Amino acid sequence: MPASTGLGETFLDRHELDALRQWLLQRGITLDVAEPGSATGDAQLTLPGGLQLQFAATEPAPLTPELPADDYRALAEHAGDLLIAVDPDLIVRYASPAAEALLGWAPGELADRTLAELLVADECAAFIARHFVSAGSQGDSAPDVFRMRRRDGNTLWMEARVAPLPAGSRLGRYVVSLRDASRRKQAEEALAAANQALATLATTDALTELANRRAFDNALRREWFRAQRDARPLAVLMVDIDHFKS
pLDDT in tens, 159-175: 999 988 888 888 889 99
d(Cα 242, Cα 246) in Å, to the nearest integer? 9
pLDDT in tens, 134-151: 644 555 667 888 899 999
Lowest-confidence pick of 35-49, 146-160, 208-222, 230-244: 35-49
pLDDT in tens, 81-115: 899 999 999 999 999 999 999 999 998 899 889 99
- Alpha-helix runs per DSSP H in the chain: 14-25, 69-78, 98-103, 107-110, 121-128, 135-138, 182-202, 213-230
Q: Coil, strand or helix: which one is 225?
A: helix
d(Cα 1, Cα 34) in Å, to the nearest integer? 14
pLDDT of 50 > 60? The answer is no
Per-residue pLDDT, 3: 36
Torsion over CA: 54, 57, 58, 62 (sign): positive
